[in-house]
Amino acid sequence: MKQLIAILLGLLILIIIVLGVFLWWFKPAPLKLGPPVPVIVSINGISPNIEVIELEARLDKILVTANISTKERKTTIMLPVGGHYLLTANGIKNNKTVQSQSILISVTSANQVIRLYFDDWSMSGMLSVNGRDIRTGQHAKINLRGYGLPNAVYNEMNPAALTGSDYEITSADYKAIKDSGANVARFYLQYYWMSPQNEQSLYAYLDKQIAAARRQGIYLILNLHFFGHSQDVAKKHEDGFFQGDIAGKGYDLVSFWDRLSKRYHYESIIAGYDLINEPNCAEGYLEPLLYDEYEKIINVIRANGDQHMIFLSDPVQKFTNPNGQTYFPGAPFKKLKDSNIVYEYHLYQPIEFTHQGFFESSYFERGTTYPYLKSEATYKGGFYNNPSWKDTLNGDWQAYKGAWVDIEKQANCTIDFQTDRFNINLSAAKTIGKVWFDDIILEEKDKASGTIRRLNINNPSITFPKDYWGWQKDPFPSSSTSGWYGLANPESEAVVFAWDRSQDHTGNGGGALLIDGTSAKWSKTNAWARWAQDGGARTMFYPIERGKLYRVRAWVKINGDNDYHTNLAFSISKVKETMINKQYLASFIKNYYESWAQTNNVPLFMGEFGVTNPSRLNIKGVPAMKSDDQVVWLSDVLEIVNQGYTKNWCFHAYKSYALRGDLFGLFDKEGPDTTLQKVIQKGLQ
């Protein structure tokens, strides 16, 4: 027995020796720290009866302490670079701790700003991605839903000018956002707000915004939204919405986000960083280059010890050509290795409806409906044998009545009743004078019964403007009319198409459609010029039915044309029709975005969606509109995403500042859109 005990004791001593050698050999390397650098610490939410705030930063045997004045509420401490410290602040009263907060920090550079909040424990943890979900610091699932905050990024280059202006987002705004049921705001940033002369002003403004948002429990998503002033964008000196012109215009996106990250990487009220708003990929800037830029930015953010979520947008309009050479084929996004990424898309479909009347583009126009039948057409032929006219009597208005047309038998092409549709042509080819058209009527006649009915056409009395001009509070109609599109053959020159408000058959102030050939140089072969309803956002075609005849009537005025050039005709096109409705939108989101996100187990964020509401515009001489279609579209979209996988979204925009119904703002101080507010608030419940 004694011999066995001796053997076991010897083995134990041997094990201890081997273990000691092992631990010595594999002992951790000494912590390598750099020289101490200043770290700025601020305290918020201090109780008024606190007497002193004790601050300590602890790393192994390193302990740095300081006292913070309850008046100044901040101090600077010196900490060696490279360390991971537990930073703790204690509010003391009568030698007892009555408020306390801690945070783990990594010291990577000088003058880092660390904020501790005594008054808000619920928001103390960073949001992060967990599979399809976004979760709080306490691991609770959260759906981020709210509004975009434009912040004058389109027309203000100096962030210092925001304070005290109509553009400033105030504490009252954050309360209104909270009261509506929202919990997040996508906070738009202008690229030049981070320029050397503006950087400190941006920090001062952002610091106030962060404090106001935190008081209401509203997360902020910082979004690099716009590059340059809108006036410079119009001159093509700046990108505006990102065009990928990094080299040509000298944009340094990596530095932009590096500096913001260094400043705010411990700020938990910031939900994340939305790196580039609506990036545009095209020849010369392909999607692989965009993702190279994304990864460079993410690398520098993570090098700062910053664990905020990253929001990545797919290239704008990629879904219209997903397999083109410009893009990665077959998917809306490229999945990156970083696990804390939210993949973002914007929804403005159909854009001819969501942006109707929006003055920034000649494509968008007032009067588009939802749901609606979208038509894509290929011209086949037509009927052009109605009588032609020359100068009207005394240069005055006269009624033009076309013949009843059996399109199947009288058109110059073979008719396919399943796919072919017709369109009205108000023609004045080779005219040397001026021709006006007004009060257009389209009729259908049943050959068997002789019953005549009038078909609905867009803007028949030439009364509705296409859009509006200017940012001002009281906009005025543009010179373009809605629903009618003038076009001549390319070989003819100087043919003028205009909405002439000075000429009007009915006297209702609407005006008339003008074709002016007084300075035209007409092609000697196949010259044509016409107004029709087949070329824009409100394209409208009519089905061809067996047993039916069709006739077009109009009031016409012709001056200075002594030959027979004016004619009312029908053009025939092969048309692909798609019903744009809730089912269409749900199918698009599910099949294009959500199926990819489900396969890759990542969350989605609809970072922008919205609809203009031109019914709110009150313009003299312009018929009023209703907002029923806008309510339906917005309700449909919210039901789709709230019941599906996206779940996280921001409406564009909380404010428009121009107080315009053809913009997107819901909560402008003057003229808030209470109709659409109610729809959003229902979606936030």
Tens of pLDDT, residue by residue over 601-629, are 999 999 999 999 988 877 777 788 899 99
The stretch 240-262 carries a mean pLDDT of: 91
Query: pLDDT above 90 covers what percent of the chain?
Result: 64
Q: Is residue 603 a contact partner of residue 415, using CB atoms and an 8 Å limit?
A: no
- How many Å apart are CA 555 and CA 453, to the nearest integer? 19
Burial classification of residue 82, based on how many CB atoms lie within 10 Å of its CB (0-12 exposed, 13-18 middle, 19 or more buried): middle
Each residue's pLDDT tens digit, 373-401? 899 999 999 999 999 988 888 889 999 99
Closest by Cα among 244, 535, 246, 573 to 378? 573
Query: pLDDT above 70 covers what percent of the chain?
Result: 93
The stretch 254-280 carries a mean pLDDT of: 95
pLDDT at 494 over 70: yes
Burial classification of residue 35, based on how many CB atoms lie within 10 Å of its CB (0-12 exposed, 13-18 middle, 19 or more buried): exposed
Neighbours of 306 (CB within 10 A): 24
Query: Three-class SS of residue 374?
Result: strand
Q: Which residue has the higher pLDDT, 526 or 428?
A: 428
Q: Is residue 675 a contact partner of residue 634, using CB atoms and an 8 Å limit?
A: no
Q: Which residue has the higher pLDDT, 9 or 486?
A: 486
Partners of residue 569 on adjacent β-strands? 425
Burial classification of residue 150, based on how many CB atoms lie within 10 Å of its CB (0-12 exposed, 13-18 middle, 19 or more buried): buried
Q: Is residue 278 a contact partner of residue 316, using CB atoms and an 8 Å limit?
A: yes
Can you tell me which residue has the tokens 């749900």?
Answer: 586
Question: Which range has the worst mean pLDDT, 135-139, 183-187, 218-222, 519-523?
Answer: 135-139
- How many Å apart are CA 183 and CA 121, to the nearest integer? 16
Residue 282: per-residue pLDDT:
86
The pLDDT confidence band at residue 659, using thresholds 50, 70 and 90, is low
The stretch 665-670 carries a mean pLDDT of: 88
**Which strand (E) or helix (H) includes residue 423?**
strand 420-428
Can you tell me which residue has the tokens 């504490």?
Answer: 171
Q: Is residue 565 a contact partner of residue 390, using CB atoms and an 8 Å limit?
A: yes
The stretch 439-455 carries a mean pLDDT of: 97
Question: Which range has the worst mean pLDDT, 94-108, 323-337, 412-426, 559-573?
Answer: 94-108
Contacts of 638 (CB under 8 A, 6+ apart): 679, 680, 682, 683
Closest by Cα among 444, 458, 437, 439 to 405? 444
Q: Where are the domains of the chain?
A: 36-117, 128-357+582-683, 372-579
The stretch 442-454 carries a mean pLDDT of: 97
Alpha helices in 478-627 (DSSP H): 582-588, 595-600
Each residue's pLDDT tens digit, 2-51? 666 666 666 666 666 655 555 445 555 555 788 999 999 988 888 887 88
Q: Specify whether the backbone of 90 is left (phi greater than 0), alpha (psi in -120 to 50) or beta.
A: beta
SS (H, E, C) 135-178: ECCCCCEECCEEEEECCCCCCCCCHHHHCCCCCCCCHHHHHHHH
pLDDT at 193 over 80: yes
Q: Which residue has the higher pLDDT, 685 or 341?
A: 341
Straight-line distance from the first to the last Cα atom of the chain, in angstroms, rounded to the nearest whole number? 78
pLDDT at 636 over 80: yes
Residue 332: per-residue pLDDT:
96
Neighbours of 320 (CB within 10 A): 7
Q: Is residue 573 a contact partner of residue 377, using CB atoms and an 8 Å limit?
A: yes
Write down the CATH number for the domain with range 128-357+582-683. 3.20.20.80
Distances (CA, A) of 24 to 18, 31, 542: 10, 16, 88
- How many Å apart are CA 582 and CA 240, to the nearest integer? 32
Can you tell me which residue has the tokens 């400190």?
Answer: 200
**Which strand (E) or helix (H) includes residue 555?**
strand 548-559
Each residue's pLDDT tens digit, 561-576? 888 899 999 999 999 9
Q: What share of the chain is helix, strand, coil (3-state, %, to 5)?
A: 25, 30, 45
Q: Specify whether the backbone of 235 is left (phi greater than 0), alpha (psi in -120 to 50) or beta.
A: alpha
Half-sphere exposure of 295 (CA within 13 A, CB side): 11
36-117 domain in CATH 2.60.40.1120? Answer: yes
The stretch 494-520 carries a mean pLDDT of: 92
Q: Is residue 368 a contact partner of residue 612, using CB atoms and an 8 Å limit?
A: no
Residue 24: per-residue pLDDT:
47
Half-sphere exposure of 646 (CA within 13 A, CB side): 27
Q: What's the whole-model pTM score? A: 0.87
Mean of pLDDT over the chain: 90
DSSP letters for 596-662:
HHHHHT--EEEEEE----GGG---TTS-----HHHHHHHHHHHHHHHHSS--EEEES-S--SS--TT
Neighbours of 351 (CB within 10 A): 16
The stretch 522-538 carries a mean pLDDT of: 91
Residue 349: per-residue pLDDT:
93
- How many Å apart are CA 594 and CA 332, to the nearest integer? 10
The stretch 252-261 carries a mean pLDDT of: 97
Distances (CA, A) of 119 to 181, 423, 539: 22, 67, 57
**Number of residues in the chain:** 685
Each residue's pLDDT tens digit, 109-166? 888 888 888 866 455 578 999 999 999 988 899 999 999 999 999 989 999 999 998 8
Contacts of 554 (CB under 8 A, 6+ apart): 399, 400, 426, 437, 438, 439, 440, 441, 568
